[in-house]
């Protein structure tokens, strides 16, 4: 996990997911996702190259846990792989995906 940032919307964390979001990384990524739920979150999915059922479960878990904690999450720029997977399992409507880039924030985490 890497962190950086410049403040324009300092209360939001930008979470950028990159590479494969698969069963091979699920155990590594899950605690990092949960740790990011400390406040409002912008999730950038543009860098996800491969996603499988475990990766979808991670996104669902993040969304549900955010709701449970009353933490607002905005989903941004889903890659073709993410869009295809969500459509395939008919979950596209469950995520309010914006095709816009994540705004600059006070902090950024890349997984």
Residue spans of alpha helices (H) in the chain: 23-35, 53-69, 80-88
Judged against a pLDDT cut of 70, whether residue 64 lies above it is answered with: yes
Q: pTM for this structure?
A: 0.79
CA–CA separation, 91 and 86 (whole Å): 5
Length of the chain: 111
95 CB neighbour count, 10 Å cutoff: 18
Mean pLDDT value across residues 48-68? 94
Q: Helix, strand or coil for residue 18? A: strand
Burial class (CB in 10 A: 0-12, 13-18, 19+), 48: buried
CATH class of the structural domain 2-110: alpha beta
Cβ atoms of residues 73 and 62 within 8 Å: yes
Q: What is the pLDDT confidence band of residue 5, given thresholds at 50, 70 and 90?
A: very low
Q: What is the pLDDT of residues 16-31, one digit of tens each?
A: 999 999 999 999 999 9
Question: Which one-letter DSSP state was computed for residue 26?
Answer: H
Q: How far apart are CA 26 and CA 70, in angstroms?
A: 24
Q: Is the pLDDT of residue 76 over 60?
A: yes
């Amino acid at each position: 996990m890497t962190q950086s940032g410049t403040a324009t919307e300092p209360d939001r964390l930008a979470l950028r997911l990159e590479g494969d979001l698969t069963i091979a990384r699920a155990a590594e990524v899950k605690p990092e996702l949960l740790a990011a739920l400390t406040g409002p979150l912008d999730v950038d999915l543009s860098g996800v190259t491969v996603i499988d059922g475990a990766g979808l479960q991670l996104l669902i878990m993040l969304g549900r846990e955010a709701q449970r904690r009353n933490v607002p999450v905005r989903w941004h720029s889903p890659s073709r792989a993410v869009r295809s997977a969500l459509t395939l399992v008919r979950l596209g409507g469950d995520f309010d995906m914006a095709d816009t880039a994540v705004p600059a924030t006070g902090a950024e985490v890349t997984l």
